[in-house]
């Protein structure tokens, strides 16, 4: 084992000195994410400016068997970027260029440190947009690493659906491309899909080629209030079954609506509410919205309001996106824990009922929100990390939600990823398939250097 001094000296021999930091504040910033998981600091943080520099870092790490954690903006929610084994954290903030917009191919090539709002600002010039919208202004490298999704997945798909190619630096410094520029391919094994969602455990992403979309001709949003969460969920199932191509459909329950109003100074009805958005041509969209109105009224919708101008649309979605911050703001000193299960849509109502009953039983304050068009919902609960009883209750709550989702054929995480928080459910969810994942990890990173013990905890005896 190298000492930290020796490691830093080695890194400085291959990188400009100012791109290698052991500053305490910087290490602290890279020792946590936005979750409640316990922080842990890296020994050193490096800021590569090119793929070549990432290769040099990985070759050194590989030579000296030093763990490496890739880091975007630290907005992960399950401890993905926390370096519990210390070593090197690679911060991609200097690799933040939009390299190429292939307007006619609906493709864009970016460095991993580009954030989604930065990309959308650039794409707007071309009448294009990038669809994946997890709320946080994460980097695209990080979003690919966790297979992020968010409000628009119901229409445009998740991060994995947008990735056409990744440039990846593997554990030993080899550079590969996982895909190509064609819209579809049956050539070779599907490495795009495998690397997206691998949470930094198989390689460092140094370039991404992503699918983008034309800004729709016409956009309309609606806010519909219901007497109960069940009615709202049933309305969503009805909308999907009618084949209405809704672009976003978000459920915000009553306690969460209260928090929205408090934080945003809005005056929305404090009832279970669906925030919806429709994209299309004007004629088609008007027919869709008429049909949607009939469906929601069948489920006792007590008020529906429409927005078509951009400012009102922005306010509506900002209110939704700020919800997590609204809870954090409302419970000073507490940390947020978020569940993230995804279930078959026909089970969604029962799964949400079960979550609300568990919150009540455990007497935990919290809201339920969700990307209900996908069957994905979150219970947001605020925990005092100095109160062991609250921590215990929140863990019990998480477990109740996850086991229920797995019994319904769902998954423990629809979009946040595994990190360290969902590891304990991996064997239960994947069964023998977990060993296949372990064998793949072992085949590609035999020394377990890349974000070790995240996503998959490979048994030591296999190394």
> In the complex with a copy of itself, which residue's Cβ is closer, 334 or 422?
422
Does 187 help bind a copy of itself (rule: CB under 8 A)? Answer: yes
Sheet with 273-280: strands ordered across? 303-307, 218-225, 273-280, 246-252, 366-371, 376-383, 335-338
Q: How far is the CB of 387 from a copy of itself (least distance, A)?
A: 29
How many CA atoms, within 13 angstroms, populate the side-chain half-sphere of residue 151? 24
> In the complex with a copy of itself, which residue's Cβ is closer, 236 or 257?
236
Q: Give the DSSP letter of residue 19.
A: G
* Token pair for 405: 């989702």
Q: Which stretch binds a copy of itself (CB under 8 A): 9-17, 32-40, 41-49, 177-185?
A: 177-185
Does 107 help bind a copy of itself (rule: CB under 8 A)? Answer: yes
Does 186 help bind a copy of itself (rule: CB under 8 A)? Answer: yes
Q: How far is the CB of 213 from a copy of itself (least distance, A)?
A: 8
Does 262 help bind a copy of itself (rule: CB under 8 A)? Answer: no
Q: Which stretch binds a copy of itself (CB under 8 A): 28-36, 37-45, 116-124, 420-428?
A: 420-428
Q: Which residues contact 335 (CB under 8 A, 6 or more apart)?
A: 35, 36, 382, 383, 384, 385
> In the complex with a copy of itself, which residue's Cβ is closer, 9 or 182?
182
Q: How far is the CB of 238 from a copy of itself (least distance, A)?
A: 10
Does 181 help bind a copy of itself (rule: CB under 8 A)? Answer: yes
Does 126 help bind a copy of itself (rule: CB under 8 A)? Answer: no
Contacts with a copy of itself in 306-365 (CB under 8 A)? 342-346
In our burial notation (b when 16+ CB lie closer than 10 A, e otherwise), range 52-82 reads ebbbbbbbbbbeeebbbbbbbbbbbbbbbbb
> In the complex with a copy of itself, which residue's Cβ is closer, 206 or 259?
206
Let me know: does 76 contact 70? Beta carbons within 8 Å.
Answer: no
Beta-ladder partners of 214: 128
Does 240 help bind a copy of itself (rule: CB under 8 A)? Answer: yes
Q: How far is the CB of 12 from a copy of itself (least distance, A)?
A: 28
Q: How far is the CB of 291 from a copy of itself (least distance, A)?
A: 8
Contact pick of 4, 241, 266, 387 for a copy of itself (by CB under 8 A): 241
Contacts with a copy of itself in 198-237 (CB under 8 A)? 198, 213-214, 216-217, 237
Does 440 help bind a copy of itself (rule: CB under 8 A)? Answer: yes
Q: Which stretch binds a copy of itself (CB under 8 A): 253-261, 282-290, 296-304, 353-361?
A: 282-290
Helices (H) and strands (E) in the chain, counts: 17, 18
Q: Measured between alpha carbons, how far is residue 89 from residues 28, 36, 65, 398 in Å?
A: 11, 20, 14, 29
Does 125 help bind a copy of itself (rule: CB under 8 A)? Answer: no
Does 442 help bind a copy of itself (rule: CB under 8 A)? Answer: yes
CB atoms within 10 A of CB 45: 24
Q: Which stretch binds a copy of itself (CB under 8 A): 23-31, 222-230, 325-333, 423-431?
A: 423-431
d(CA 120, CA 126): 10
Beta-ladder partners of 280: 218
d(CA 451, CA 204): 10
Does 193 help bind a copy of itself (rule: CB under 8 A)? Answer: yes
Does 293 help bind a copy of itself (rule: CB under 8 A)? Answer: no
DSSP codes joined into one string, 76-105: -SSSTT--TT-SEEEE-TT---EEEEEGGG
In our burial notation (b when 16+ CB lie closer than 10 A, e otherwise), range 276-292 reads bbbbbeeeebeebbeeb
Contact letters for a copy of itself, residues 45-74 (x by CB under 8 A): ------------------------------
* Token pair for 72: 């975007």
């Amino acid at each position: 084992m190298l000492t930290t001094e020796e490691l830093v000296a080695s890194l400085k021999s291959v990188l400009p000195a100012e791109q290698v930091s052991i500053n305490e504040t910087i290490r602290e910033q890279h020792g946590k994410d936005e979750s409640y998981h316990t922080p842990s600091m890296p020994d050193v943080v490096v800021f590569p400016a090119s793929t070549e520099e990432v290769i040099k870092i990985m070759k050194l790490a590989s030579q000296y068997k030093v763990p490496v954690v890739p880091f975007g903006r630290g907005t992960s929610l399950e401890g993905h970027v926390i370096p519990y084994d210390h070593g090197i954290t690679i911060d991609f903030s200097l690799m933040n260029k939009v390299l190429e917009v292939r307007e006619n191919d609906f493709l864009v090539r970016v460095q991993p440190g580009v954030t989604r709002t930065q990309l959308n600002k650039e794409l707007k010039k071309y009448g294009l947009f990038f669809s994946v919208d997890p709320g946080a202004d994460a980097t695209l490298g990080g979003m690919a690493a966790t297979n992020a999704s968010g409000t628009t997945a119901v229409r445009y798909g998740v991060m994995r659906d947008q990735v056409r190619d990744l440039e990846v630096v593997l554990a030993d410094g080899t550079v590969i491309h996982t895909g190509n520029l064609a819209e579809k391919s049956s050539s070779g094994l599907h490495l795009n899909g495998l690397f997206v969602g691998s949470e930094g455990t198989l390689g460092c992403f140094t370039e991404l080629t992503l699918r983008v979309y034309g800004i729709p001709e016409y956009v309309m949003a609606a806010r519909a209030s219901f007497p109960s969460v069940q009615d709202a969920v049933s309305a969503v199932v009805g909308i999907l079954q009618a084949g209405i191509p809704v672009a976003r459909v978000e459920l915000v329950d009553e306690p969460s609506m209260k928090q929205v109003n408090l934080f945003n100074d809005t005056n929305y009805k404090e009832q279970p509410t669906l925030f919806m958005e429709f994209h299309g041509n004007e004629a088609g969209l008007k027919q869709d919205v008429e049909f949607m109105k009939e469906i929601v009224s069948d489920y006792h919708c007590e008020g529906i309001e429409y927005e078509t101008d951009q400012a009102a649309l922005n306010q509506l979605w900002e209110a939704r996106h700020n919800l997590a911050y609204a809870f954090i703001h409302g419970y000073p000193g507490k940390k947020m824990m978020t569940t993230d299960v995804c279930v078959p849509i026909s089970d969604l109502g029962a799964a949400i009922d079960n979550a609300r009953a568990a919150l009540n039983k455990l007497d935990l304050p919290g809201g339920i929100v969700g990307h209900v068009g996908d069957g994905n919902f979150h219970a947001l609960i605020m925990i005092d990390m100095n109160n062991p009883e609250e921590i215990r209750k929140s863990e019990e709550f998480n477990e109740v939600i996850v086991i229920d989702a797995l019994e319904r054929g769902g998954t423990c995480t629809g979009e946040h990823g595994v990190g360290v928080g969902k590891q304990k459910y991996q064997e239960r969810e994947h069964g023998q398939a977990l060993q296949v994942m372990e064998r793949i990890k072992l085949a590609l990173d035999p020394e377990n250097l890349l974000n070790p013990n995240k996503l998959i905890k490979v048994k030591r005896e296999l190394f």
